[in-house]
Structure 1
Amino acid sequence: MKRVVITGLGVVAPNGVGVADFTQALKAGKSGITFHQQLKDLNFSCQIGGIPNISDEKKSEYFTDLQLRGFNSSGILYGCIAGIDAWKDAGFEMNSESELDYYTGLIFGTGTSGVEKFREAIYKLDDKQVKRLGSTVVVQTMASGISAYLGGMLGLGNQVTTNSSACTTGTEALLMGFDRIQSGKAKRMLVGSCSDHGPYLWGGFDAMRVMTYKHNDNPEQGSRPMSATASGFVPGSGAGALVLESLESALERGATIYAEVLGGEVNSGGQRQGGTLTAPNAKAVQRCIKNAIENSNLKPDAIEVVNGHLTATSKDGLEMENWIKALNRKGNQFPYINSTKSLIGHCLAAAGAIECVASVIQLKDQFVAPNINCDDLHPDIESLIDSKCIPTEKIDLNFDVIAKASFGFGDVNACVIFKKFKL
């Protein structure tokens, strides 16, 4: 079984585009949540969200004029930028004339791809303008559009595919890539996930009344995981990407190694034992965490930091209970825990990948990012663990192991364990 390490990172997040800006935002506790007039005009209850700031100049650094003609898929845009950044960060070049690389593959997930492009196409069809749809409608709107774009731009010849498992998508993609390298079927895998933004994706959640409506006038205070005044999640968008590589390959080419992936677990609660389409089966969540630790050849007390799923909904308390039972640690024995969503909102299918990048950055730079908007810790959570374990300001910490988990619609779960790299 091969050891698997991380040699490249890329991120497009509401509070920072690129690893340097995102790292600075994490350390400063900078929010990327803003007010959006379009949501107000459409009579949304929640009129705030996290949208990355991508200029036309930035787009032209990654796409040709021909590729950008008729392009209207924010998720694919974010995914390609994050993926190419991770690829270059790992020390590789993007060259359209490069030889096909049979040793490198890609698993890049998404939820719904090209929503705005699909809407644009529908209007043209309604107006009987089918010949004006353009030749890229299909690739921009199919779920595997992101892997099709990136696989071709980078010339990857191993498995190139898209996964989709709601909020667990990015973490699941990472573990699928990890399995492929560990088993010797690939030397390198570019993994990650992306999500579109906008009313046609977020409208369903607004209709479900699971998004906050209380902070339209103060958007940066809207995303409040673990807070007593949390009133629902804030939608976000973006992408995260990581280059996974066998240790042998990384050492052979002298690559920079950010961290090691020790192992993980993916499972489902089957919508049984209290689990539903939108609620977790607690037993399955605990099993996922326990098995991830066991598969990493660790004991629960080895987990020093947790980057939780924690969405600022009524399920935050249940998630904390699940971590306590899975780790068999509570009070001041509980590890530090944070939620990247306090800074960027819930980026849906992109959440797991962006938060995996955030976890690796914290491990590499030896700090724990703050939970903003959590000065009023929920009493149910405060009764379970010491409030010092939920930092509201950045903490510098010398640590070796961080756990990252994602739990998604459909009662699906994923947990991965990262470790500071040592030969």
Structure 2
Amino acid sequence: MQPTDVVVTGIGAITPLGADVPTTWTALLGGASGIRGDVLADAEAHGLGGVVAGTMTVDPAALLPPVEAKRLDRSQQAAAVAAAEAWSDAGGPDPDPERLAVAIGTGIGGVRTLLREDDVLEASGARRVSPRTVPMLMANGPAALISISYGARAGVYTPVSACSSGAEAIALGARLIRSGEADVVIAGGTEAAIAPITVAGFAQTRALSGHTSDPASASRPFAADRDGFVLGEGAAVLVLESAEHALARGARIRAVLAGAGISADAHHMTAPAPDGSGQIAAMRKALAQARLDPSEIGHVNAHATGTPVGDAAEALAIHAVFGRATVTAPKAAIGHLFGAAGAVEAAIAVLSVENGVIPPTRNLAQAGVDPAIDLDVVTERREGAQRAVLSNSFGFGGQNVSLVVTAAP
């Protein structure tokens, strides 16, 4: 291991499968589903019918001091919970504040606060709007909160790149360490945007799954009968350190963030490039930085949201880089967490290489894998050493991020 290597010393998460990393991981390996029905009480009033989504198993506000929780948007609460677990898991590092940075991505920010306070404005007038509205709705709120909480003065960053935000924040964190700007970075993503407006907006684009009669089976990545994604919410945070810093303090190294690749399709606001060139470039950049051959990747944690076009395009891109690769798709169990998705799945990649197991992909038993997708999709947990895992996150706007995680030496 080189002193400039970037290592993962702590992970934290709150997801539709659990309020922390151990419960989330156990549920994922067990084939559980975090997708629930009728998650919006006012759905019918907005003409939405029954809405299924991956809501957090525990209200993050219940895990924080009441006064603090009241001052935070739900996305900020989730980030605070995940960061606290990650920091504790890392052994409570005590870095120089001038060498500690934060990078927390989000796709939408505090939209629930914005909607709620707009309702207050319309119903009761300007004087009834909360003075905390702006700090609660601003996209950089979660990153700023964590910076303040842990005294991080090396910089606070907020990548806002749709579904790739969390993965981009982790890639940025690694870049800050490799450039010598920080020794430790708290990096990840958060999202809590399940609301009538987001559901309606995605429904109008025909992006959401129509398999709502059985919520647990609604999210069907790579399935022959997939028809759209399922909304999710939550957060995940990784504590990244230079290997030199981690080894000097005797930290437990959970994995190595060996490579990160970022590219842009420059093609369409919502559709991926038909030839997969952007996604292929991101994966190849990540492999090159990690100095790995495609054959050395144990499996790919696919972005795979369950849309007909998106899954097919990613499958072609993966095949172009790896051939008939082994893949898994956690969104079948947790839904699509937007800005938090890449961070949650990076944490899953860390756990995969650490434990030597590939999590299963749900909801393929009935229709099976789409015959047009020439990949080895894991449907039951698969044991075996995972020296390296590549995790994909692709966002609207054609923003592509691939991360390579390798096992700790």
Q: TM-score, normalised by structure 2?
A: 0.93
Shift of 1:70: 5.4
Structure 2 equivalent of residue 325 of structure 1: 320
Structure 2 SS opposite 1:168:
helix
Amino acid of the structure 2 residue aligned with 1:22: T
Contact 1:116 1:200 in 2 (8 A): no
Sort the Cα spacing of 1:41 and 1:131 in 2 relative to 1 into closer, same or farther, 3 A: closer
* Correspondent of 2:46 among 24, 34, 42: 42
Aligned 1:360-399 pairs, distance under 5 A? 360-375=350-365, 376-381=368-373, 384-385=374-375, 389-399=376-386
Q: Verify: 1:77 aligned to 2:56, yes or no.
A: no
Q: CA deviation at 1:87?
A: 1.1
- The 3-state SS of whatever aligns with 1:33 is coil
- How far residue 296 of structure 1 moved from its aligned partner, in angstroms, is 1.2
**Structure-1-length-normalised TM-score:** 0.90
In structure 2, the residue corresponding to 1:107 is in which secondary structure? Answer: strand
Please show how residues 5-404 of structure 1 align to structure 2 within 5 Å.
5-36=7-38, 38=41, 39-44=43-48, 47-55=51-59, 59=61, 61-63=63-65, 65-69=66-70, 71=72, 73-92=73-92, 101-127=97-123, 129-196=125-192, 197-214=194-211, 216-271=212-267, 276-281=268-273, 282-314=276-308, 315-327=310-322, 329-330=323-324, 334=325, 336-375=326-365, 376-381=368-373, 384-385=374-375, 389-404=376-391
Q: CA–CA distance in 2 between the matches of 1:280 and 1:397?
A: 33
1:186-238 deviation line (CA, Å, top 9, x unaligned): 00000001111232333211121110122x22100111000011111111111
TM-align CA RMSD: 1.8
How far apart are residue 409 of structure 1 and its match?
A: 0.2
Q: CA deviation at 1:42?
A: 3.1
Match of 1:420? 407
- The 1:377/1:162 distance shift into structure 2, 3 A limit, reads same
Question: Could you tell me how far apart the structure 1 residues matched to 2:137 and 2:58 are?
Answer: 20
Partners of 2:45 and 2:330 in 1: CA distance: 29
Equivalents in 1 of 2:317, 2:105: separation in Å? Answer: 26
The equivalent of 2:4 in structure 1 is 2
**SS at structure 2 position matched to 1:225:** coil
Could you tell me whether the CA contact under 8 Å between 1:45 and 1:206 is conserved in 2?
A: no
Structure-2 separation of matches of 1:45 and 1:403: 38
TM-superposition CA deviations, 1:165-197 (whole Å, max 9, x none):
001111111000000001111000000011112
Determine whether 1:409 maps to 2:396. yes
- Whether the 8 Å contact between 2:95 and 2:183 is mirrored in structure 1 is no
SS in 2 for 1:418: strand
Quick one: structure 1 residues 70 and 245, their matched pair in 2 at CA, closer, same or farther if it must change by over 3 Å? Answer: closer
* Identity rate, percent: 28
Pair 1:166–1:46, CA change in 2 (3 A): farther
Between the aligned partners of 2:126 and 2:295, the Cα distance in structure 1 is: 60
In 1: Cα distance, 2:71 partner to 2:153 partner? 28
1:292 positional shift: 1.2
Going from structure 1 to structure 2, the CA distance change for 1:99 and 1:185 (only over 3 Å counts) comes to: closer
Does the 8 Å CA contact 2:208/2:229 hold for their aligned counterparts?
yes
5+ unaligned residues in a row in structure 1: which ranges? none
Amino acid in structure 1 at the alignment position of 2:280: Q
Q: 1:421 to 1:377 in 2, by over 3 A?
A: same
Provide the secondary structure at the position in 2 that maps to 1:413: strand
Number of residue pairs matched by the alignment? 399
Residues 111 and 137, structure 2, Cα contact 8 Å, conserved in 1: yes
